[in-house]
Structures are given as C-alpha cells and as structure tokens.
Chain A
C-alpha cells in the first residue's frame, strides 16, 4: 500500500477505539496502552507491570481481552479496540460495574478497569460461573488490595441475580 517513509517522518496509524476512528502518529512499536493513555487520553487501562502479568492494561481487541502493554500500536491498526471506558453507557455503570459498587468491591482502582474488561468478556461466555471458574478467569489480573474474595462474591451474586 505504501512505500517506506523518509527517516524522521511519521506514518499515521488508523485505529478504531470504542467505535470511533482515531489516528495516531506514534511509533508503530509503541505499546497500545501508551497510545490509549497519552495520545487518546483514555486512562482506564493502566500501565503497571509492562510485561503482561498484572492485567491492569487489559482491553478488548476484536472482542477478546488482551494485555495492551504487549500489543504494538502498529499491529492494533485496523482492529476493533474497546477500553474500560466503553463498558459504561452515558456515564451510567454497566450492570456488572453496578454490582461491584453494590458489593463495595472497588478499592484503589489500579487493577479494576482491567478486571472489569476481563470479567465482562468472561460472563458473556460463562453466564453461570462457579467460584473456581471465576478464579481461573482472573489469573491474569492481579490485585494488591483485596485478596479477591469479595470480588468473586460480587461476580457470583451478579451471575445469579435472577
């Protein structure tokens, strides 16, 4: 499609983030999380470990949760990116987010956007999870505050709310 650009020139990278077409001039190997936060000001995803272990930067790419610290923005071009900001609608928490508030789960908030992205996808595919299944789903999302039990309680209550 394009020839190599002269040294120093930046090639625009087209992204679709939360349903909106966006352009970045970032280096194509820039971690997606940095573009989301620093260029697009979507600060829900957090850059914490930068090695794919903690899950604080989790976003959806083509409907699947991935670690945005390990996705080069040049590879993300053309893919559908959804961040934690897209989970709520017009300022209203999603039903899952509301369940977390109701169960007083949220603490420092560093891991929580990633947790919500992971759990939103998980519950779409596993609407009636067991406690063990929830733990397995969260193995890549680390929380230093809570110890997880209240979070898992809230997910179970949400899943079995009817």
Chain B
C-alpha cells in the first residue's frame, strides 16, 4: 500500500488489493471516493466543482483483479478497472457483443479510452453521455458491488437509478454480461460542437427467429436524459414482430415524446429527442445486417 499526501492533508491512497481498497474506503468513510482511471475526477475543476483535492481518494487502478476480463460460454465478467480500450479489444471478436464493443471502442478518443475505465464511467453519476450505460442496459448486465458489509449484485437498471446512494462506502468491482444468441448495436450521434460526447445514443440487443421475428428485444437510450434508461414501449411494440427499420422509425417517432431531453451547452433537449427515431432506424439496420 502507498499513501501520498494531498494539499490539505488528505491522502491519495494507492490500494494494491481488493481487500486493501475496501479497508481504505471504510477507514476514510464517509468521504472517501474510489479513483480508477481518474479522467472524470481530473476534470472537476473544469466543471467548477468543489476542490476535489479535499476529497480522500483511494486509487484502485493498480489492482490486477479489477482489470480482468473473463469470457466463457454463458457470461462475460468485466473488472471495474478494465479500460475502454481493453473492453473493446477483448469483446471485439465476439459476435454477440458487437454493441458493447462498439460502445467501448468509440467513446471519447483513443488516448482517453486507454485510461478511462468501465467502472469509473458508470460511477460518474453526473456524466449523462456515458456510452457504457445504455450498452450495458441493452445487454442485460448486472453490477457487483463490494463493501465492508460484503458483496451484492444488482441489475444495471437498478444500479443506474440508485447509484448516488449505493456508491458511498461501496466499490463497483465487476460487471457481468450474460451471453446468448443475441445481435446487438450501439448507435451514437457525436457533434463537432459537443467535442467527444454523443448528444444521443441508442443501444439495441435482439434475439431473432430464423424468419426475422424479434423474439426478444432490449432498447436503451443514453445521453438524452440525465440517466440512461430503457425504452419499454418501443420494446413491447417491436417484440414478436419482424424487424423493420421503417416501422421502428415510425414507432420511435410516435413515442419519442416520452423522453424529456436535457438541455446542455452541446445540444438542446428537443434536439436529442428529435434525433432518436433516426438512431433507432440505424440500430435496426445494423441488427438486420448481422449474420
């Protein structure tokens, strides 16, 4: 273990094992915060947040166990400190993981993807433009949290909805993604004035029968509202029907008003909502093109 002294007497504690990290977080409760790739936390001054140097951080990026990505026939287990680049490289060749691999491989820019982690991305509560959040929702992923009280597992939806109260004192340790005969797509709309952030995202995963009927379909939307969420009405309208890009576009246009687009400097809320049908169409076309 190492401890580095910070400006006001707080420490950056570099944990070397999972147990070490949990103990360090508990010892520094309630203010300690895990630090993984640090790309979000280091931008705190840009966001004019309170002086982040006053926060006792516990660095977890050097813990080997948290960087593992294990793949078997039934599931993929991704350590919280796996970087976007590592996730993209490991999942890139898996036919049922195209959506998740696209989310990992297109977020931000190459240098950020080399250090930004999947766990850090999901724990950045105020980061609405996360690519992983909708992609993991569509993939039906689960989150494993570890604290001094023990380990627990949550569906991604519940984690995203409650993470601001779940995270203090807990460490997101890994993501579990079930595998199956699924096709998946991740479609994002970046704008030049939005920098590297997409203004709207549609992630889609579907199990298709040989005749093209969608037996199961899961659709998630990111960056439009403050927190990514599924699109249950569109899912129910598309389930049991043959995938059809025009029909999906029309259904999405009819129900896009169920989203309350967030206004931000890179795009107004109405625009984020308005582009959703086009992104849905693209996602369906990608699914249709997959073998």
Contacts and interface: CB of A to CB of B under 8 A. Distances in A.
Interface in B34-59: 35, 38-39, 42-43, 45-46, 52-53, 57, 59
Interface residues of A, number: 39
A71 B110 contact: no
A53 B194 CA distance: 11
B1 A9 contact: no
Given A52-B39, A71-B38, A9 B112 contact: no
B3 A51 contact: no
Contacts of B59: 74-75
Interface string A65-93: 11101111011010000000000000000
A137 interface: yes
A140 B4 contact: no
A1 B11 CA distance: 14
Interface string A12-54: 0100000000000001110100000000000000000011110
Given A1-B1, A7-B8, A53 B42 contact: no
B268 interface: no
Interface residues of B, number: 33
B14 interface: yes
Contacts of A11: 3-5
A71 B115 contact: yes
B77 to A, nearest CB: 24
Contacts of A31: 42
B196 A53 contact: yes
A140 B5 contact: no
B162 interface: no
A15 to B, nearest CB: 12
B9 interface: yes
Contacts of B5: 4-5, 9-11, 28
B38 A65 contact: no
B180 interface: no
Given A1-B1, A70-B42, A71-B42, A139 B12 contact: no
A55 B114 CA distance: 13
Interface in A96-135: 118
Interface of A: 1-11, 13, 27-29, 31, 50-53, 55, 58, 61, 64-67, 69-72, 74-75, 77, 118, 136-137, 139-140
7 contacts: A3-B3, A7-B9, A52-B108, A67-B39, A69-B42, A70-B42, A75-B59
Given A4-B5, A50-B45, A53-B195, 7 more contacts: A5-B5, A28-B11, A52-B43, A52-B111, A64-B114, A70-B112, A140-B112
Interface of B: 1-9, 11-12, 14, 35, 38-39, 42-43, 45-46, 52-53, 57, 59, 61, 108-112, 114-115, 195-196
